[in-house]
Amino acid sequence: MKVSTNGVELHVEEAGAGFPVILAHGFPELSYSWRHQMRALAAEGFHVLAPDQRGYGQSSRPEAVEDYDIVSLTGDLLGLLDHIGEEKAVFVGHDWGSMVVWTLAQLARERVAGVVGMSVPFVPRPERPPLELMRSIIGDGFFYILYFQEPGVADGELGADPARTMRRMLAGLQILPDNMPDPATMFANDGRGFVDRLPEPDRLPDWLTRAELDHYVEEFSRTGFTGGINWYRNFDRNWELTEQLAGAKVDVPSLFIGGSLDPVLLMTPPAATEGWLTDHRGTVLVDGAGHWVQQERPEEVNAALLGFLLSVRDENEAARP
């Protein structure tokens, strides 16, 4: 379905009826990334909605970088909740979608029955602007978030060959215990871009079919990557817009799901969030899974999700007058 809200039009995949669950994908993904969750959650009595978030797929792709700040991104999800006439939902995010739903749980607690982050744990608002912190750590080295800041540069590299980009992204974001990356090579400022640093897979992983990869390639060949990259260009703006969240915790029911081989968890380990999630219901690390955990290991992810969703739904229904 199409939903007009918050100045954009969102393409939304929908399944089931009952307590609402909104699934927010990450970079570079689509609502399609939740294909293994939609029917499974709907079959248990949930109304499941998965938008192509702004900048992606069949949804609007505003031109201004500022149109991708955290107020806009969280506002889209609240607008979707308003569209279906519900007061609350459980919000589930993966990758960048996790950052959006963690922030939404702080900005609009009254609308969030529960929050699930996948692959990116909750990160408290830092004392200094994020890009300044990154530059202080990386120095003159390469870091993809800093590389993404210059308009047109990363856009051009990722968009030059979408098949190469998506193949390497989907098949290469996994840390193997016997093949740990060399930091000196990974962060070397040697003229290589982002995709150049990702390994070229010998074959597709078992969890990704050629048809599934082709779907991503076709969509990003049509849209390009600028919309998603613009999310990264708002790190400092997001920090400025959320001054009221300094020191704020997440106090709705929460769950974290990640892959044990996800390289993101090397940079932001889930244990670092201890004390910041006041009603945390568990951290699930799926053994052997990489970054795309809900696509790689859907049965285990769905089981963890459903356990959390059913308990939150029951609590909300019991609290109704």
Q: Which residues are catalytic?
A: 95, 291
Check residues 80 and 176 and name the one with the higher pLDDT: 80
C-alpha 86/C-alpha 36 separation (Å) is: 24
- Tokens representing residue 283 in the block: 């951290």
Task: Render pLDDT for 108-152 as a digit per residue (tens, 0 to 9).
Answer: 999 999 999 999 999 999 999 999 999 999 998 999 999 999 999
Helix orientation angle between 162-172 and 210-223, rounded to the nearest 10 degrees: 130
- Residue given tokens 């909740």 in the structure block: 81
Check residues 187 and 23 and name the one with the higher pLDDT: 23
Q: Mean pLDDT over residues 235-262, rounded?
A: 97
Task: Render pLDDT for 143-171 as a digit per residue (tens, 0 to 9).
Answer: 999 999 999 999 999 999 999 999 999 99
Task: Render pLDDT for 246-255 as a digit per residue (tens, 0 to 9).
Answer: 999 999 999 9
Confidence of residue 267 (pLDDT cuts 50, 70, 90): confident
DSSP one-letter string for 87-107: S-EEEEEETHHHHHHHHHHHH
Confidence of residue 317 (pLDDT cuts 50, 70, 90): confident
What CATH architecture is 2-319? 3-Layer(aba) Sandwich (3.40)
- Tokens representing residue 181 in the block: 């990356």
Q: Tell me, what's the pLDDT at 183?
A: 66
Task: Render pLDDT for 273-306 as a digit per residue (tens, 0 to 9).
Answer: 889 999 999 999 999 999 999 999 999 999 999 9
Q: Mean pLDDT over residues 97-104, rounded?
A: 98
Contact 227, 68 (CB under 8 A): yes
Q: Mean pLDDT over residues 57-74, rounded?
A: 98
Contact 183, 197 (CB under 8 A): no
The amino acid at 178? D
C-alpha 311/C-alpha 321 separation (Å) is: 18
Contact 219, 77 (CB under 8 A): no
% of the chain at pLDDT higher than 70:
97
Q: What's the whole-number average pLDDT of the chain?
A: 95
Q: Tell me, what's the pLDDT at 13?
A: 98
% of the chain at pLDDT higher than 90:
87
Q: Tell me, what's the pLDDT at 266?
A: 86
Confidence of residue 176 (pLDDT cuts 50, 70, 90): low
For residue 44, the 8-state DSSP code is T
Check residues 307 and 179 and name the one with the higher pLDDT: 307
The amino acid at 145? I
Is residue 15 helix, strand or coil? strand
- What is the gyration radius of the CA atoms in the chain, in angstroms? 19
Annotated domain spans of the chain:
2-319
Confidence of residue 321 (pLDDT cuts 50, 70, 90): confident
Q: Is the pTM of this model over 0.85?
A: yes
Helices and strands of the chain, counted as H and E runs = 14, 8
Secondary structure of 166-204 as H, E, C letters: HHHHHHHCCCECCECCCHHHHCCCCCCCCHHHCCCCCCC
Confidence of residue 178 (pLDDT cuts 50, 70, 90): low
Nearest to 175 by CA among 198, 141, 158: 198
